[in-house]
Amino acid sequence: MNIKDFRYDGSKKFNIKEFDTNQTGEFKDREDAESNRDDHILELQGLQDRLYAENKEGLLVIFQAMDAAGKDGAVKYVMSGINPAGVSVYNFKVPTAEEMDHDYLWRAMKAGPERGKIAIFNRSYYEDVLVVKVHQLHLNSDLPDRCKTKDIFEKRYEQIRNYEKHLYENGFRIVKIFLNISKDEQKKQFLQRIDDPAKNWKFADGDLKERGFWDQYMEAYEDAINATSTKEAPWYVVPSDKKWFARQLIADIIVKTMEDIDPQYPTVGEERKAKLAEFRKLLMDEE
């Protein structure tokens, strides 16, 4: 799949109204798309193993989406084949009192990846330019008045660009994924959650209220993505009306990003090789 078609790195504008959320690339149907699932998982396993062994770069994968777009399923899919020791998932909820007493990047910094590992953010500091912008939550926060300026979100975009550049320049790769669904598809998903007893738990009372702000969210996503698409930390906008397509594309994006890192198993020098030969001899000489 050509992941470039879905990549925003500052060289083109993202226009949310023109984006087809129902596209499925070269795949005819789910079966066709999932036929390479095992290959993906094997590739991811191999790359993760080398990333871990090399212990130089770390990878941060950010997932953002409207409710019911398939974020959790995508996280599960990506995680399915990989070594749990090398990955962490952090869910960004409504900030706690402790988190609110810090700047909005603080909790992200704490949860960021270590070298050799993958950190997955299920939502992220982008909430601070999405839900906070749509509902103007900063106005009722403990931020001092001097910070509650009209251009607060422009400033945050800049802070985010700088933060991501800082991470990149210190050995971390960042991939940002927006699972883009249509309002109609969200309705279908919500109805399933209401109708299917096994899915009832997924439906929250506030979900319909947020759906009422759909247009404002779309505008906030478009603005945030255009303002923070960079070469170092590109956005990928993933058509998500067909979840099976979104998952394949996401797996591809992560595999290709890791291929780009191209982690290598550490090699040993002559001295170490001689030492290993000694250990081998000791083992072989055991009674």
Please give the residue ranges that form the binding site for ligand ADP (CB under 6 A). 67, 92-95, 122-123, 127-128, 131-132, 137, 204
As measured in angstroms, the least distance from the Cβ of 53 to ligand ADP is 32
Task: Locate all alpha helices (DSSP H) within the chain, ordered by sequence.
Answer: 30-34, 37-54, 71-79, 97-100, 106-111, 131-135, 152-169, 183-195, 207-211, 214-228, 243-261, 270-284
As measured in angstroms, the least distance from the Cβ of 274 to ligand ADP is 53
Nearer to ligand ADP, 27 or 126 (CB): 126
Which residue of the chain is nearest ligand ADP when measured via CB? Answer: 127
3-state SS, residue 165: helix
Nearer to ligand ADP, 151 or 205 (CB): 205
Nearer to ligand ADP, 79 or 137 (CB): 137
* Distance, CA of 47 to CA of 206 (rounded, Å): 40
As measured in angstroms, the least distance from the Cβ of 184 to ligand ADP is 20
Q: Any idea how long the chain is?
A: 287
- Distance, CA of 186 to chain centre: 20
Nearer to ligand ADP, 32 or 99 (CB): 99
Nearer to ligand ADP, 93 or 187 (CB): 93
DSSP assignment, residue 104? T
Nearer to ligand ADP, 59 or 74 (CB): 74
As measured in angstroms, the least distance from the Cβ of 72 to ligand ADP is 6
As measured in angstroms, the least distance from the Cβ of 50 to ligand ADP is 31
User: Which pairs with CB-CB distance under 8 Å and at least 24 residues apart come from 88-95?
Assistant: 88/113, 88/117, 88/118, 88/119, 88/120, 89/119, 89/120, 89/122, 90/119, 90/120, 90/121, 90/122, 91/122, 91/123, 92/121, 92/122, 92/123, 92/124, 92/125, 92/127, 93/123
As measured in angstroms, the least distance from the Cβ of 127 to ligand ADP is 3
Give me the residues paired with residue 235 across strands: 8, 176
* Distance, CA of 159 to CA of 230 (rounded, Å): 13
Nearer to ligand ADP, 87 or 258 (CB): 87
Nearer to ligand ADP, 17 or 209 (CB): 209
As measured in angstroms, the least distance from the Cβ of 92 to ligand ADP is 5
Burial class (CB in 10 A: 0-12, 13-18, 19+), 231: exposed
Q: How many CB atoms lie within 10 A of CB 171?
A: 12
As measured in angstroms, the least distance from the Cβ of 121 to ligand ADP is 10
